[in-house]
């Protein structure tokens, strides 16, 4: 009796293997390829965020505060305006990078990452910036002589919010002298 059960299951197993032999072969080859160590030594481009140089950086908190003061003082009823901005993160550039991986006979993998530099012919070299990331603001304080009037406060909060991306809960408007 047990021999009949084994022969039935063996027959079913053989028919399944015959039917799905190519699918099983593809899965087996894929598994083997995944388990093999990578010996690729070609470079791949990566990005790394770095703080922007002060010379190349067009953003300045002081400049933005001055421009905001000038614009907000034009609001009817605001009067003389002072603005203080705080930053959560400063402006930075994302530079192009090239990485090279190599594996040794001992099985150790080594990765070398270099920043991409472009020569301009006259001996000058510059890094390649892929993206300029704007700063993220943390809060704003606006002191103005018209800060006691609710309609003036609302217009100032809306203006600062539109220019900095801050929510109304992160903008404080106070009445000045």
The boundaries of the domain holding residue 14 are 1-36
Indicate if 15 and 63 belong to the same structural domain: no
Would you state the pLDDT for residue 55? 39
Residue 85 has pLDDT above 60, yes or no: yes
Q: In angstroms, rounded to a whole number, what is the distance separating the alpha carbons of residues 80 and 176?
A: 8
How far is CA 152 from each of CA 133, 139, 145, 165, rounded to the nearest angstrom?
32, 19, 10, 19
Average pLDDT of the residues of the chain: 79
Cα radius of gyration (the chain)? 32
Indicate if 78 and 161 belong to the same structural domain: yes
Indicate if 16 and 48 belong to the same structural domain: no
Would you state the pLDDT for residue 153? 93
Indicate if 53 and 131 belong to the same structural domain: yes
Better-scored residue on pLDDT, 177 or 107? 177
Indicate if 58 and 108 belong to the same structural domain: yes
Indicate if 85 and 101 belong to the same structural domain: yes
Would you state the pLDDT for residue 4? 79
Q: In angstroms, rounded to a whole number, what is the distance separating the alpha carbons of residues 84 and 91?
A: 17
Indicate if 112 and 102 belong to the same structural domain: yes
Q: What is the pLDDT of residues 40-60, one digit of tens each?
A: 545 444 444 444 444 344 567
Q: What is the pLDDT of residues 141-158, one digit of tens each?
A: 999 998 889 999 999 999
Domains contained in the chain, number? 2
DSSP 8-state assignment for residue 37: P
Better-scored residue on pLDDT, 84 or 134? 84
Indicate if 95 and 150 belong to the same structural domain: yes
Indicate if 108 and 167 belong to the same structural domain: yes
Residue 73 has pLDDT above 80, yes or no: yes
Question: Any residues with CB less than 8 A from the CB of 138 and at least 6 apart, and which?
Answer: 86, 87, 88, 170
Would you state the pLDDT for residue 139? 93
Better-scored residue on pLDDT, 46 or 122? 122
């Amino acid at each position: 009796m047990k021999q009949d059960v084994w022969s039935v299951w063996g027959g079913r197993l053989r028919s399944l293997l015959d039917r799905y032999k190519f699918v099983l072969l593809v899965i087996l080859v894929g598994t083997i390829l995944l388990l093999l160590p990578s010996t690729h030594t070609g470079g791949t481009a990566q990005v790394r965020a770095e703080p922007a140089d002060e010379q190349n950086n067009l953003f300045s908190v002081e400049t933005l505060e001055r421009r905001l003061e000038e614009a907000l003082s034009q609001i009817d009823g605001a009067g003389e305006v002072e603005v203080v901005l705080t930053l959560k993160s400063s402006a930075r550039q994302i530079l192009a990078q090239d990485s090279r991986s190599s594996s040794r006979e001992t099985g150790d993998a080594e990765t070398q990452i270099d920043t991409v530099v472009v020569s301009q012919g006259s001996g000058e070299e510059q890094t390649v910036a892929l993206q300029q990331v704007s700063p993220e603001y943390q809060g704003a304080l606006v002191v103005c002589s018209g800060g006691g009037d609710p309609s003036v406060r609302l217009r100032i909060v809306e203006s600062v919010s539109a220019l900095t991306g801050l929510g109304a809960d992160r903008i404080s408007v106070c009445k000045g002298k």
